[in-house]
Amino acid sequence: MLKPLLFALLALTIAPALAQTSPSITRADMPVPLDTLRQSTAAIVLPASAPPLTRRGPNQTWNYAALVATAQNVARFTAIPAQTFYLLTFGSPFSGANRATVAAPQALPLPPGLPLPITDPYQFYNTSAAEFKSVGYGGLLAGTAVPVTYAANQQDIIYRLPLRFGNAQDSSNSFFSINVPGTGYLSQKRKRVNIVDGWGTLTTPFGTFQAVRVLTRLDDYDSIAVTGLNQGFAVPTRREYKWLAVGQHVPLLTITTTALAGRETVSNVEYRDIYRRIVRPSATRDAVLDAALALYPNPLAAGAPLLLDVPAGSGPLTVEVVDLLGRSVLRRSFAGGGRLVVEAGAFGAFRGVAVLTVASARGVAVRRLVRD
C-alpha cells in the first residue's frame, strides 16, 4: 500500500509543474505568405487596471482586457512580389543571405520629413529554425522596384528561435542605407537586445492565451543627407514589450515605450484583434493644443508631406489618422511640439476624408483632413 500512495503523491506534485511551463515559440509561429491578421491600436494612456510593465517572471497573469480599440489595421504577409529586382535580390536561390521567405507591405523606417519619393514599400523577412530576421526593404522609385539590403552579416535579427523563458539574453547589430541620387540619403545603425523575461496568462479583448513576453531594447543611430541638412543623430531608446503565443504569427500585444527626458513613456499600443466597429472613446480636449494646432496643406496633395504646428511644451505626442470607417491610415509618435512633419509615404495609397487626432498626456485635439 505504501508504494502506490507514494507514486500518487509524486504524480500530484509533478503534474502541476509539467502543466505550468513556458510556451515555446518556434518558426511555425512566425508570419507566412497569405497571413491576413487584424490588429487594433489603443490609447497610449493605459487603463488604470492594466498591470505594470515591470511584471515579469514565470507563471504571471497580465490582464489587458480593458484596452479599447481606437483604430484598426490589417497586417498582410505575401510571397516575394513579382518585380524583377525583388525576385533577384530576395526570391532567387542565388540571393544568399538576402533570401526572404515572406514579405509585408510596410513603411520604410524613414525619419519624419525625409523626402524620399518611394511608394509601395515592403519589408522582407527570412524565417529559419534558428531565427526570424529582416533581410531588407524595397519600394517603387518612378515605377521601378528598388531593393535595399543590409550590410553583410548585419541584418536585423528580430528573434532568435525558439523563444522560451529562461533563454539567455541576445543581441544583434544591423546596418542599412538608402541613397536616392539628387534627393537624399539615409543610413541606420541599430542595436537590438532581446530577453524573454516572463511567461504566463495574457488577456486582451481578443481572448486569453498562454504567452511568453519578449522585452526588446532598440538603440538606433540615423545619418541623413538632404538639401540643407547633413547630420547624424541618436534616436531615443525604444522598448517593445511583446507577448507571443503558439500559432498566432504576430504578437498578441505590443506596448512600445520611448525614453524621453530619462523617463520611459508609452508611445504605442497594438494588439491582435477581430473586426470591431470603432467608437472613438471620449477624451479630454486640451484647450491649448486645440486652439494652436494647425495642419497644412489641407486638402493635402498626394506626394506632399503633411505639416503640423503644435504648441511647444506639449510633451510626447501621438499623431493618428483614421478613415471614416475607423481604419488606421497612419500612427506616428513625436517627442514634443513644434513643427512636425508626416512624410507623404506614411499615407500609403489612402485618398479621401480622414480624421486626424493629436494626443498628449493632457488631452487631444481633432481635425478633419482631406487627401486628394
Domain C-terminal end among 215, 245, 272? 272
Would residue 140 count as lying in a domain?
A: yes
Is residue 11 one of the residues assigned to a domain? Answer: no
Whether residue 20 lies inside any domain: the answer is no
Residue 263 shares a structural domain with residue 309: no
Per residue of the chain (372 residues), what is the pLDDT tens digit?
444 443 344 334 333 433 468 999 999 999 999 999 999 998 888 888 999 999 999 999 999 999 988 888 899 999 999 999 999 999 988 889 999 999 999 887 766 555 667 788 999 999 999 999 999 999 888 888 989 999 989 999 999 999 999 999 999 999 998 887 777 788 899 999 999 999 999 999 999 999 999 999 999 998 887 766 677 878 889 999 999 999 999 999 999 998 876 788 888 899 999 998 876 555 667 777 878 888 988 889 888 889 988 887 777 888 888 877 667 788 888 877 788 888 887 887 788 888 888 887 777 888 888 898
Q: Are strands 352-360 and 317-323 parallel, antiparallel or unpaired?
A: antiparallel
Residues 183 and 75 placed together within one structural domain of the fold: yes
* Residues 24, 243 contacting (CB under 8 angstroms): no
Domain assignment of residue 3, yes or no: no
Cell numbers that stand for 109 in this block: 523606417
Residue 129 inside a domain? The answer is yes
Domain count, the chain: 2
| Residue keyed to cell 487627401 | 371
Torsion sign over Cα 77, 83, 84, 86? negative
SS3 at position 242: strand
Is 312 inside a domain boundary?
A: yes
Are both 148 and 38 inside the same structural domain?
Answer: yes
The closest of 150, 105, 100, 159 to 125, measured between CA atoms, is 100
Same domain, 250 and 295: no
Positive/negative CA dihedral, 54, 57, 61, 66 = positive
Domain that holds residue 292: 287-371
Q: What is the rounded distance in angstroms from the CA atom of residue 58 to the CA atom of residue 180?
A: 48
Q: 129 with 242, same domain?
A: yes
pLDDT at 282: 56
> Where is the domain boundary, 239, 272, 305?
272
Of the candidates 129, 130, 110, the one whose C-alpha atom is nearest the C-alpha of residue 119 is: 110
Of the three residues 272, 300, 323, the one that is the final residue of a domain is 272
Mark whether 217 and 318 lie in a shared domain: no
pLDDT of residue 358: 87
Ramachandran assignment for 6, one of left (phi > 0), alpha (psi -120 to 50 degrees), beta (any other): alpha
Pair 343, 246 in one domain: no
Q: Check: CB of residue 348 under 8 Å from CB of residue 321.
A: no
What is the DSSP secondary structure assignment for residue 110, as one 8-state letter? P
- Is residue 10 a part of any domain in this protein? no
| CATH code of the domain in which 292 resides | 2.60.40.3080
Q: Are 356 and 209 found together in one domain?
A: no
The 10 Å Cβ neighbour count of residue 133 is 22
Say whether both 252 and 295 belong to one domain: no
Report DSSP letters for 162-212, one per residue: SB-TTPPPEEEEEEEEEEETTTEEEEEEEEEEEEEEEEEEEEETTEEEEEE
Do 313 and 166 fall into the same domain? no
Rounded CA separation 58/76 (Å): 32
**Residue 16 within a domain:** no
- Within this chain, do residues 246 and 345 fall inside the same structural domain, yes or no? no
One-letter identity of residue 344: A
215 shares its domain with 322 = no
Give Cα separations from 370 to 59, 275, 298, 323, 327 (angstroms): 48, 25, 6, 10, 15
